Amino acid sequence: MDMATLLWGVVFGAIGGGFFIYGKRQGALVPLVCGVGLMVFPYFVSNAWATVAVGALLMAIPYFVRL
């Protein structure tokens, strides 16, 4: 694991924490699930570019999916 992957994991984990808290307080399922995904996925992705791609995708899902 290199420094870029670690840094991106911390950034996306922090954003995921915000999504999780927002989803829990508002009772919104999509941001809650995406928040958990953003906090967990850096443990399984070892490439920096893949980390950025998956993180950007998970951050965009609540914008496009409204339930």
Question: Is the torsion defined by CA of 37, 40, 46, 47 positive or negative?
Answer: positive
Supply the pLDDT for residue 27.
Answer: 94
Q: Is 25 exposed, middle or buried (0-12, 13-18, 19+ CB in 10 A)?
A: exposed
Domain ranges of the chain: 3-64
Model pTM above 0.85: yes
Q: Token pair 């980390």 is at which residue?
A: 51
Supply the pLDDT for residue 36.
Answer: 98
pLDDT (tens place) for every residue of the chain, 67 residues total:
689 999 999 999 999 999 999 999 999 999 999 999 999 999 999 999 999 999 999 999 999 998 7
Supply the pLDDT for residue 64.
Answer: 95
Supply the pLDDT for residue 67.
Answer: 74
